[in-house]
Structures are given as structure tokens and as C-alpha cells.
Amino acid sequence: MLDKLVSQILKSDKIAIARGISLVENESKDANELLKALYKETGKAYVIGITGPPGAGKSTLANYLTKLLIEKGYKIGVIAVDPTSPFTGGALLGDRIRMQDKAMDKGVFIRSMATRGSLGGLSKKAKEACEILDASGKDFIIIETVGVGQSELDIAQTADTTVVVLVPESGDAVQAMKAGLMEIGDIFVINKSDREGSDALGVALRTMLHLKMKKDGDRGETPVVKTIASQNKGIDELYEFIILHKKYLESNGKLEEKRKDNLIKQINELVNDKLENKFWTEEKKSVLESSIDKISSREVTPYDFVDELFKN
């Protein structure tokens, strides 16, 4: 059964891709086997991360960027990791593309992943979904995440190019810096440029990015692009900057370096998961449960308790 799924995914069959991602999402036992079987075929897609505050226009931007990439003849996968998306009433990813042109729908696979369980788990699942899309032969994969929590920043960081979307009303650039977005952005987008305050945000952003450049050197000024995503404006320019960044990474071995760093992180996470699962046997869990009162009443210290757990 798995063999068939693998070969269908490699043929870019949509239903098979969807099933594969469901296996990953549901933490099915087959998911690991599937990922193992596909691994050799991964590493070919270029991953674009789009992150920023809720409502900034990430989905709208992703939609038009997808459209542009499809028009250029590329095969695209889109993963939207947005725990808030069903409730914000924002643009539903993919709807616009589907409505505009049925033919365009062919080269694109779009999937939303919502929070089921922990966000940390979601970041792992999103990366695994990415591997499935990669193996299926997509040229570009776009991952949309809300840039608010650490694990979402983690997802954005695994992208080859990370696009940070800000809007005039989402507070100033200082806010973005606090959220850790300044550090991870390879390209900054000021969306909703039809609204007041976009020039001021641009000035503040450039000042901060200038300081950042002094710190990390050789790439030059980080690009800032103004867009009006809802009117499909500025997307061409964004695309140009993505390609420029891609060429920059590819030309100096940085892409390979970045991906190797990410692999080390991924392996660390897998080891941690495995160790944790192995460690917390049912017996240990019940020992913890029955000891918590003693620890809470200061009869036993957490430190001695853990030492004791490791002895068994």
C-alpha cells in the first residue's frame, strides 16, 4: 500500500499528496516509512516562507505570488500554517486562484494545516508536509505562518528565503523587532501600502535593517518591497527579490550551508522526540503522578526525583 502511495506522490498525484500529508498530520505510523521512502527525492524544491502578524495580508500575497509562479510555468505547493485562519474572515488561501482559472489549478497543491495538539508538533508536521511536496516535484513551496510564536518562527527559518510581511497598522518596526521578525527576514514587505503610514514604516524599517547589515555583512541592504496585495500590486518586484536572494544563496554555497544547518536542527529534534518518548514509559508517568504531592509538599526535591527516574 505504501509503495503505491510513494510512486503516486512521485508522479505528483494530488490525492496521493493529500493522503501523505494526512498521514503526517495524524502522526500515523506509516508517516515515518513514507518520509523515509521519499527522502532521496527531496531537496529540489525552493522553499519560500511568508510570515508576519495576523491580518497582514500573507494569504492574499501568497495567492498572487502563487499565481505569478504558475504563470511562469513552475509547479507550486502551498502550506498555510495558520491556527487563526478559520476565524479571522481573511482571504481563504487558494480560493482566488481556483475561482480565477481552473487550468491554473493544475500545477498547484494547497493545504492548510491547523493546530491540533501543540504548535511545536505543528512545525514538525509542516516541515514533513514540505518534504512530501518537495518529493512530488514542486519547483517552489510557499509556507505561510503567523509570525507570533517561537515554533512559527522556526518554520519560517527552515525556508530558503523568508519573507516578512508588515503593515502600517500592525504597530511600528520596533514591534517586529521584538517579535524576532527582524532577525529572520531575508526580504521585508510593507503590505497595505494603500494605507496611511506605509512611508513611515518604510523609513523605520530601513534604518533598522541598515544596523543589521553592519552586523552581518556581505549581502548588502535587505530589500524592502511595498505591495498592495489585494490589488495584486508589487508582487512582481517581490518575485524579483526572491529570485535575487535565491541566486545569491546558490552562488556562494550558502544555500547548502543553510540547509545543512537545518538538517542538524531537524536531527536534534528527532533525537529529542525519540528520547522523550522512550523515556516516559507508562510506569514512569504513573510514578510521577503518585509522587507529585510529595514533591509539592517539599518532602522530595524535583532534582532527587529526576535522578531517581534515571536510575530505573
Contact set with Mg ion (CB under 5 A): 58-59, 82
Q: What is the 3-state secondary structure (H, E, C) of 259-297?
A: HHHHHHHHHHHHHHHHHHHHHCCHHHHHHHHHHHHHHHC
Give me the residues that bind ligand GDP (CB under 6 A), please. Answer: 54-60, 88, 90-91, 191-192, 194-195, 228-230
Q: Which residue has the cell 491554473?
A: 104
Q: Which secondary-structure segment (H or E) carries 251? A: helix 235-251
Query: What is the closest distance, in whole angstroms, from the C-beta atom of residue 56 to ligand GDP in the complex?
Result: 4
**Nearer to ligand GDP (CB atom), residue 27 or residue 172:** 172
Q: How many Cβ atoms from other residues are within 10 Å of residue 285's Cβ?
A: 10
205 binds, among Mg ion, ligand GDP, none (CB under 5 to 8 A by kind): none
Closest-by-Cβ residue to ligand GDP is 90
Of the pair 136, 191, the CB lying nearest ligand GDP is at 191
In sequence order, the β-bridge partners of residue 108 are 76
Nearest distance in Å: CB 66, ligand GDP: 12
Q: Which is nearer to Mg ion, 59 or 157 (CB)?
A: 59
CB of 65 to Mg ion, least distance (A): 13
Picking from 167, 181, 113, the residue whose alpha carbon sits closest to that of residue 143 is 113
> Which of ligand GDP, Mg ion, none has residue 226 at its interface (CB below 5 to 8 Å by kind)?
none
Given ligand GDP, Mg ion, none, residue 202, with its beta carbon under 5 to 8 Å by kind, binds none
The CB-of-144 to Mg ion minimum distance in angstroms stands at: 6
Residue 62 or 209 having the CB closest to Mg ion: 62
Buried b vs exposed e over 44-80: b needs ≥16 C-beta within 10 Å? Answer: ebbbbbbbbbbbbbbbbbbbbbbbbbbeeebbbbbbb
Q: Which one of ligand GDP, Mg ion, none is in contact with 229 (Cβ closer than 5 to 8 A by kind)?
A: ligand GDP
Nearer to ligand GDP, 228 or 249 (CB): 228
Closest CA to 194 of 57, 95, 51, 49: 57
DSSP state of 228: B
Give me the amino acid identity at 59: S
Rounded least distance, CB 293 to Mg ion, Å: 45
> Closest CB to ligand GDP among 168 and 223?
168
What are residue 113's DSSP bridge partners? 81
Do 67 and 100 form a contact (C-beta atoms < 8 A)?
A: yes
Which CB atom, from 155 or from 229, has the smaller least distance to ligand GDP?
229
> Residue 33 Cβ, how far from Mg ion at the closest point, in Å?
32
Sequential DSSP letters for 96-118:
HHHHH-TGGGGGEEEEEE--SS-
Least distance CB 227 / ligand GDP (angstroms):
6
